[in-house]
Amino acid sequence: MKDIFYESNKDKSSDIFAEKQKEFGGRFHFHRAFELAYITDGRARYLIEDETFIAEKDQIVFAHCYYRHKSFEDIKHEKYVIAVPENLSRDVAVLFSDTTLPMLLPDTEFNRTLLPFFEKLANECTDMSRILSKGYANIIFGSLSHHYNSIAVKPKNKNVLIIADILEYIDNHFRDRITLESLSATFGYNKTYFSRLFNQHIGMSVNNYINLVRLDRFEKLFADSKSENITELVFDCGFSSLATFYRVREVRRKGRISPTEQK
């Protein structure tokens, strides 16, 4: 089985991911977010699904949601990377529901007209309002879809589809008492195989991931409601105890979620 990693940070963020990167490699991965990379200097080598190609200066690379992809560190280059998470990408998702942009967008003259929006997002995204950052992203995606001819979406990789179904199930049932045992039974897998499959793609145990989903939900609800009843909100989000909630929050705060840590 090919090593494929689910990059959760681009999906779980409540904001658009945008930054300037130099040579940046990593594991062959996927996420639900739609991702664009604008090459500002040098040349970048990419692998998306089963296609390897070179992107030149002022060309743009597009990875559709769930497309497996990676860039390589072997050629010097700089780029702006933006990724629109699922909770902010409804307009983009409708735009690319049945079709997609080519993986390589080569019209450098046209692409340069969009460079200021990439720069704005990468340099000012953390300081601007969500509606403004979403507006810039919509201008970029809308302009690209108008300029470039759409193509058919590639069939999704079987393992990616399985993981996507599992993640969607967890998103819909995180308040319930779901465990490794119940999830593997729901999807018809042996518990040991299911655990290995999940850990390989997600990079952490089933229980850790479920608790992170619960923590994300708690933080959003708490910020929206300004409720002082933390205990009630903790249990409403599916945590079995306050001790578990505080442990997960502290571990995440310190960035020490272990891929093999089990509760």
Return the amino acid letter for 171. D
Q: 202 CB contacts (<8 Å, ≥6 apart)?
A: 5, 6, 8, 163, 209
- Please write the tens of the pLDDT for every residue from 169-200: 998 899 999 999 999 999 999 999 999 989 88
Q: Contact at 8 Å (CB) between 60 and 144? A: yes
Predicted local confidence at residue 123, as pLDDT: 92
Q: Contact at 8 Å (CB) between 14 and 224? A: no
> Taking CA 93 as the corner, what is the angle to CA 90 and CA 99, rounded to the nearest 5 degrees?
160
What is the Cα–Cα distance from 240 to 126, expressed in whole angstroms? Answer: 34
Return the amino acid letter for 4. I
Q: Contact at 8 Å (CB) between 3 and 68? A: no
- Please write the tens of the pLDDT for every residue from 27-82: 788 888 999 999 999 999 999 988 999 999 999 999 998 888 999 988 889 999 99
What is the Cα–Cα distance from 14 to 82, expressed in whole angstroms? Answer: 14
- Please write the tens of the pLDDT for every residue from 86-101: 767 778 888 888 899 9
Give the tokens for residue 158: 């079987």
More confident residue, 224 or 80: 80
Return the amino acid letter for 51. E
> What strands lie across the sheet with 5-6, from one edge to the other?
5-6, 29-30, 69-71, 44-48, 51-55
| Global model pTM greater than 0.85 | no
